[in-house]
């Protein structure tokens, strides 16, 4: 079900048997290190809090209290990752803050044995210190996996917020758009323009004032040419609108909600 490009990529492409495919953005070593740092602080906070409670037992038996604290200092760093990733479906507190999630590398459900193994193998990933080995392996790995991920068959993905782009900076609301008078053309544009091209057009419009005049003309000419090739535009729009105005009109109908 999964496939990945031969070269190292920043996304894992999931291809379902039904022919649908989409990609999951992979988390790099720096983001993961920050999440781990947050988890380390959380572990210390848990240990400090629980130790204080356990030390109350010292009134009854100091030996027992010390034994429990010794065990806790050993167990909490191991069980923290296992418990959180199992109960919070691949997330620890640090991963939640950094918007990361552990997933099975084949898109299947994360199994308990995978969660246990990737957490136990921190013992080797953290060598010689500060997760240096794990970080280097992650950098070299095609799917940004540390050794624990490789053995457990897991990946860590970024949970990107899927917010609609901010069109207010383009001032489209106040401008008349001839394309909107042609619902069939509008519908075809919304269907034909792929997300990557739409985003390129949007970014070009947002940065148009920073472009050199010649470059600006070239960029919008290329984009307008592409849009004209996708959909047969009405004669008056194809001839009367400048390239830049056409791109603005297309971005308006592709991104904005119907008025």
Partner 1 sequence: MILDLEKFTAAAQPHWDELEGMLERLESDPGRGFGELAGAQRFYYLYQRAGADLARLATFSSEPALRRRLETLVARAYAELHSAREADDSRWKPLHWFLHEYPRTFRRHLRAFWLVLAITLAGCVFGAYAVHRDQEAKQIILPFSHLLGSPNDRVAQEENRSGKELSGQKTTFSAQLMANNIGVSIKAMAFGMTWGILTVVVLFYNGVILGAVCFDYLRAGEGVFLAGWLLPHGSTEIPAILLGGQAGLVLAGALIGWGQRVPLGRRFRAVLPDMVTLIGGVAILLVWAGIIEAFFSQYHAPVLPYSVKIAFGVVNLAALIGWLGFCGRRTEEPAP
Token pair for residue 66? 């010390």
Q: For residue 30, how many other CB atoms are within 10 A of its CB?
A: 11
Taking CB under 8 A as the binding criterion, the range among 73-81, 173-181, 211-219, 234-242 that sits at the site for partner 1 is 73-81
Nearer to partner 1, 160 or 212 (CB): 160
CB-count exposure of residue 20 (10 Å: 0-12, 13-18, 19+): exposed
Sole window of 45-53, 63-71, 215-223, 234-242 interacting with partner 1 (rule: CB under 8 A): 63-71
Q: Residue 237: which residues within 8 A CB-CB, separation 6 or more?
A: 178, 179, 182, 185, 246, 249
| Residue 116 contacts residue 102 (beta carbons within 8 Å) | no
- Using the rule CB under 8 A, give the single segment among 37-45, 46-54, 57-65, 231-239 that binds partner 1: 57-65
Residues 110-129, interacting with partner 1 (CB under 8 A) = 111-114, 116-117, 120-124
Tell me the torsion sign for CA atoms 139, 83, 71, 97. positive
> Does residue 53 bind partner 1 (CB under 8 A)?
no
Report, in Å, the least distance between residue 212 CB and partner 1.
27
DSSP designation for 142: T
58 binds partner 1 (CB under 8 A): no
Binder of partner 1 out of 45, 58, 71, 130 (CB under 8 A): 71
Cβ atoms of 38 and 50 closer than 8 Å: no
Residue 107 interacts with partner 1 (CB under 8 A)? yes
| Helix (H) or strand (E) segment spanning residue 80 | helix 62-87
Q: Site for partner 1 (CB under 8 A): how many residues?
A: 62
**Footprint of partner 1 on residues 132-161 (CB under 8 A)?**
147, 150-153, 160
Out of 6, 128, 171, 195, which residue is the one contacting partner 1 (CB under 8 A)? 195
Question: Which residues, listed in sequence order, are joined to residue 158 by a DSSP beta bridge?
Answer: 100
Q: Which long-range contacts (CB under 8 A, 24 or more apart) does 229-232 make?
A: 230/188, 230/189, 230/192, 230/193, 231/185, 231/188, 231/189, 231/192
* Residues in contact with partner 1 by the rule CB under 8 A: 1, 14, 16, 18-20, 22, 61-64, 66-68, 70-71, 73-74, 78, 89, 104-109, 111-114, 116-117, 120-124, 147, 150-153, 160, 162-164, 184, 187, 190-195, 197-199, 254-258
């Amino acid at each position: 079900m999964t496939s990945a490009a031969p070269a190292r990529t920043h996304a894992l492409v999931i291809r379902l048997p039904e022919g649908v495919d989409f990609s999951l953005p992979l988390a790099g070593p720096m983001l993961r290190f920050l999440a781990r740092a947050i988890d380390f602080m959380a572990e210390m906070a848990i240990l400090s809090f629980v130790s204080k409670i356990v030390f109350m037992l010292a009134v009854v038996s100091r030996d027992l209290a010390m034994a429990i604290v010794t065990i806790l200092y050993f167990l909490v760093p191991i069980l923290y990752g296992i418990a959180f990733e199992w109960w919070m479906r691949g997330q620890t507190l640090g991963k939640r803050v950094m918007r990361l999630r552990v997933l099975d590398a084949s898109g299947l459900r994360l199994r308990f044995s995978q969660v246990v193994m990737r957490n136990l193998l921190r013992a080797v990933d953290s060598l010689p210190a500060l997760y240096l080995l794990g970080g280097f392996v992650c950098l070299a790995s095609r799917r940004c996996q540390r050794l624990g991920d490789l053995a457990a068959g897991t990946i860590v993905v970024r949970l990107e917020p899927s917010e609609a782009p901010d069109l207010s900076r383009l001032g489209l609301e106040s401008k008349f758009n001839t394309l909107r008078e042609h619902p069939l053309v509008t519908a075809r544009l919304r269907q034909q323009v792929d997300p990557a091209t739409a985003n390129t057009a949007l970014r070009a419009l947002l940065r148009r004032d920073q472009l050199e005049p010649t470059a600006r003309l070239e960029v919008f000419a290329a984009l307008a040419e592409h849009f004209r090739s996708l959909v047969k535009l009405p004669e008056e729009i194809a001839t009367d609108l400048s390239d830049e105005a056409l791109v603005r009109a297309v971005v308006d109908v592709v991104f904005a909600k119907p008025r």
